[in-house]
Amino acid sequence: METLFIEKEIKYTGKELSPHWIYKNFKIMGNAIVAFIGECEVKLDHMVDIEDVINNEPIYSKKMLSIIEENFNCSLVEMVYKQRLLVTITKELIEKNYPNVNITRNGDDLYINNKKLSVSIATKSITSTLIHFGLNIDSTGAPINASDLEKDIGITDIKNFAIELLTKYKNETEDIDFAASKVRGVI
């Protein structure tokens, strides 16, 4: 799996969660995960989460760390497992580096002091499965009670945090693939 931190600011609108977006924009073919910083505004017409659409809950964050993964050999259920793995690795990374932060996980969501830190969805396209995972950097204007990486945790070097997160996730998924390939089948 290829990883990339994208230096340029990108506004996440939901349109980016589409097949081959990573390849078309950053020339990374195949399974990949990328991270970038920018405003996040997902209106209901670009929402993938039907529950959010039904509840009329658009997403907004003045500044967000967005992570998109595209995988060409996972089912949707497997991608949901990978989504939960990414969220759990994020929680562990924060707990390790900021032990005084009260972070909790509920499914694919992270909370700081009961304020939502993240948004996340896994979906399926015609050719692949995809994840968007977003962490508020500046939650100003969020339509819900939200927390953020800078103010509530104290993370100021978002780029290095993102690179460390992508590296840990890549290593974990590669280790899973290795663990699955090293065993002898039983009858």
Spans of all domains in the chain: 2-181
Report pLDDT for 141: 87
The percent of residues in the chain predicted with pLDDT above 70, rounded, is 95
Rounded mean pLDDT, 12-23: 96
CA gap 180, 32 in Å, rounded? 20
Which residues are CB-contacts of 156 (< 8 A; sequence separation ≥ 6)? Answer: 150
Domain 2-181 indexed as CATH 3.30.930.10: yes
Query: Which is it for the CA torsion 56, 83, 17, 180, positive or negative?
Result: negative
Query: How are beta strands 32-42 and 2-5 bridged, if at all?
Result: parallel
User: In which band, very low, low, confident or very high, does the pLDDT at 117 lie, cut at 50, 70 and 90?
Assistant: very high
More confident residue, 80 or 50: 80
Task: List phi, psi (to 5°) of 7.
Answer: -70, -35
Report pLDDT for 173: 96
Of the ranges 6-20, 47-61, 139-153, which is most confident? 6-20
Report pLDDT for 96: 97
More confident residue, 46 or 35: 35
Provide the mean pLDDT of the chain: 94
Report pLDDT for 47: 67
Report pLDDT for 56: 63
pTM attached to this predicted model: 0.94
35 bridge partner residues: 5, 67
